[in-house]
Structure 1
Amino acid sequence: MQRISRTCSLLFISGSLFASVAQAAPVALVKDGETAYGYSLEADQLVPYTVQRGMAVIDDIVLGTHANIQRHGIPSLRVRPWTSKQEVQTRDVVPFDNHIGTSSRWPNNTLYYSLEEASDAAATAFRAAIRHLESNTNVRFEERTDQTNYVRVISDAPRECSSFVGMQGGAQDLSLGEGCETMGIAAHEILHALGWAHEQSRADRDRFVTINMSNVQADKVTNFMLSQGGDPIGAYDFDSIMHYRSSAFAINTAIPTILPIDPNIQLSRLGQRNGLSAGDRASVNHFYPRLNTDLGLSLNTQQLVINKNGRGMATIDLAAKQRNLVQLTATTSNNRLINNSGIQFTHLKGNQYQLTVKPSAEMTGQAELTVQATDQFGQVVRKKLALTVLR
């Protein structure tokens, strides 16, 4: 994107047009606490955000680093499954990153976390929140040892409650600063990390609530933008732990900024932080369905497409109490195309492994691989991987 000295754009927010003029400046000149503008590829517009300790933040949602947003634009909050439908690894395919939907759900229903940089109060709130989530959903939480992807809980900024949306890859911060150390706020931020945006950002929200933009603080208008993220399931949920309160970011707190269209909906229902609603539980369990065993095995793709005489690679995410006692094996439905000597497992780091497949020389066709994990207790988990070898 070409940088220009002054950019004028029209932002479409909740059914209204807002004129915004952004002074484009080098990344280094934007100070902490100031407003910057990033180009949203999904919305095709400039969107303002606040810079906090080098991160681009809208309300409590972390978009990424300010530098990356300036270089690459604002990614979609749309959260994809960690397992893709297909990986094409052929010589004539050029990787293309359109920066839309870069985060994913956590494989094996397991979110790993670290409390090493959290205050005692933040750690207590976080632990209470994960107990609440584990008792109401199919998500599991484990304190990190050496896992590759994990949430790092921090609490070094007062009143800063924030999180990325979905799994980013590597360490990602979840902030529970002073004033944020309650079970409800922690659960709200954890749901962001699991892949949920705010309820009132749903694409269908204008059928259920009216946003009174005339009473919204000028620098908080972006907080009410509609989003494609969050994976809304079921009816609009006024009781969701992910919903704003009725007076959120109001100029005059006596006047609601969010007003239910149905007059029978009490304003006090909006913005509760007591625990998951029935709708929250149903939504989380839809995208994180129940696992049958304590042993978890996920592949980052369902199908590999490679060239003749080439090789393909898939990443394995393994959830197990004692990974060193888990055995990984694979069988094939087509021994002529690929046999056991063409299948190799390599430990990458933490709980991730690489599966490398190398078909027989000059062979083309299709095969189905069955990847199996077996632990010391005899528990077995299997995943299928389709292999296509092109001429």
Structure 2
Amino acid sequence: MAIDEHELAAFTATIRDFAQREVAPRVAEYDAAEQIPRDIVKQMAELGLFGGTVPEELGGLGLDHVSYAKIIEEMAKVDHTLGVLMSMPSSLVGSGLVKFGTPEQQEKWLRPLAQGEIFGAAGVTEPQSGSNVAAMETTYRRDGDDFVINGAKTWISNLDLASFIITFATADRSLGRAGISAFIIPVDSPGLTLSPFKDKLGFRPICSGEVSLVDVRVGADALVGEEFGGYAVAMNAVEKGRLSVAARAVGLAQGCLDDSIAYAQQRVIGGTAIADHQLIQAKLANMATEITAARLLVHDCAHAMDRGERGRKQASMAKMYASNVAQRAATEAVQIHGAYGVSPEFRVGRAYRDSKVFQLVEGTGEIHLQLIARALLKGE
């Protein structure tokens, strides 16, 4: 359903107030500790921040994609990693269950996911094939009514909070995308091992790591969608995920601009605020222009999805451009802050680290250039 402007404004204001009051004073501390505090997550659930685009009848908020992108951006201005948690029920983890899940799967996994009662992870990326789903090496075989899965996934997020993982495996690697199926695997399943990475460059509060699957056995009720239909499940999740990554990148960039404007007006050198210098003004103007352009690309992608389109080309454009804008905005923000840009007293240094990771997650910029070009050459 569409949310009207007044409802969206009120909800966005609630998120803004929560982020400034509860998150901003603590984010540097939990970034260093590499763990999102459980009490913050609990408060987010109480505010209904995880419902996103999940239909109301399935426990979500039923937002349109444009409104969803706006609230993700709002949280990302203060901490984009909380935006990751907000996005998962509507993208990487939950979107496949919305479109392909059985009523039983939706009730058991999706409803509590959308209400923040449980959390999930999505196992797509692999050590050798990366994000190329069609080239995955994780395999499964049938054993009676069960499926037995073997393989490994890497750089999988949310390992500390997840109750289950939606992952993908192939029955026959020679079949490419036609051999792939999607499965729900509870994290306490025998043979499933989670190994978090520590001391990452950025995205530090999000627990990411490797998932090992050794003879992991699941029943028929774990299959998401039809057998051999996993590629469609994966693409649905990935495309929705790229929208949320782009919205978070815009939020981070906007936070950098907001901080840079405030600092430039307060920082006085030789009796003059640095905001009065044309070089600083040019930096701010360029940042604002690029952020506005990135936001428009995000909303263009969201509008396409609201029309019922996949929005593949739009998602790649939005993700690639917004990630690059976030990196440039963070770089300029540190430059404007000068030596204070590397001080933990200011958040632009953290944004600088995170902005680089934005250019890598959900497909590198180089991959998205290829995807956009392919779409153009096909006349899409």
Both proteins in one fold, TM over 0.5: no
| TM-score in terms of structure 2 length | 0.26
Larger helix proportion of the pair: 2
Larger radius of gyration: 1
Greater relative contact order (CA < 8 Å, ≥ 6 in sequence): 2
